[in-house]
Amino acid sequence: MKGLNLNLATTICAALILTAASAAYAQIAQPLHAAGPQAGVTTSLVSPPPPPPLAANPNLVQANIAGVVKRYLINPDGDVDGMMLADNTLVMVPPHLGSQVVASTAPGERVRIVGETTPGGTVRAQQIINDRTGMSIADQPPPPRSPGERRGTGLVKLEASGSILRVTTAPRGEPDGVLLADGTVVKLTPPVASQFTSLLQPGTVIAAQGYGTRNRYGESLQATAFGTPGNLTPLYDPQPQ
């Protein structure tokens, strides 16, 4: 009987020890998982949530338009960087795509344009599709410039005058020049343009002098003097001799 009682007591003690050890492990193991990785402990990693999408530029509105090409427009360097449609919509393209624009469209042809409209009403094209041929060009990064390549070396002195057809704008909507009724582009910097707000109105007759290019696609100059015929204001201080 004595041996039976001893075995029973031993069994009960072992069960109590096992129960206490299990409870202690449960108390220790749970904080480890909650607290994150510990030395010698392997845990599964959860990917962080994706960042919220960037806010859209409030100055731009998506555009999907169609129209007939009236004429090309050039920048002072002579690159085709836009077109005027028959309804006087102004469409700008990156200058490095100018040669593709000329190769894929021609005045008189109907095009579809996908892009964005700036506050001034100018459409900045991201894709141009020729309705007749189906040929499409899309915006893409410009090729790298050749070492030593310099722009502006071929500019000539030009004068222009005429009635303003459109006021051109920079991407944020601030005026940066004018398009005359004959297709001539006169460029101003936005700070300079802000000094001539009374003149920068459709129908106003202006005059300008500056440096730019005249070629088979049009005429464009960066103004160094601006105003009305016979009353030009120099825009920059003359260089000291």
Check pLDDT > 90 for residue 98: yes
Please tell me the pTM assigned to this model: 0.71
Q: How many domains does the chain have?
A: 2
Average pLDDT over residues 175-191: 96
Q: Provide the pLDDT for residue 31.
A: 41
Same domain, 223 and 177: yes
* Domain's final residue, options 138, 168, 185: 138
Average pLDDT over residues 52-78: 80
Output the six-digit token pair for 153.
Answer: 């070396």
Check pLDDT > 70 for residue 152: no
Check pLDDT > 50 for residue 173: yes
In a domain, 7, yes or no: no
CA dist 64 and 227 (Å) reads 36
Structure confidence by residue, pLDDT tens digits, 5-14: 445 444 444 4
In a domain, 82, yes or no: yes
Phi then psi for residue 159, to 5 deg, are -125, 150
Structure confidence by residue, pLDDT tens digits, 99-143: 999 999 999 999 999 999 988 889 999 999 999 999 999 988 877
* Domain's final residue, options 108, 138, 168: 138
* Domain's final residue, options 106, 138, 170: 138
CA dist 207 and 107 (Å) reads 27
Q: Provide the pLDDT for residue 142.
A: 76
Q: Provide the pLDDT for residue 27.
A: 45
Same domain, 122 and 165: no
In a domain, 29, yes or no: no
Check pLDDT > 90 for residue 15: no
Q: Provide the pLDDT for residue 63.
A: 85
Q: Provide the pLDDT for residue 53.
A: 42
CA dist 198 and 202 (Å) reads 11
Q: Provide the pLDDT for residue 168.
A: 94
Same domain, 175 and 203: yes
Question: 207 to each of 151, 170, 210, 224, how far by Cα in Å?
Answer: 25, 21, 10, 11
* pLDDT band at 54; cut points 50, 70, 90: very low
Query: 83: domain CATH number?
Result: 2.40.50.140
Same domain, 129 and 171: no
Check pLDDT > 80 for residue 30: no
| Residue range(s) defining the domain that contains residue 112 | 61-138
* pLDDT band at 171; cut points 50, 70, 90: confident
Output the six-digit token pair for 163.
Answer: 């009635």
In a domain, 5, yes or no: no
Closest CA to 71 of 109, 118, 113: 109
In a domain, 132, yes or no: yes
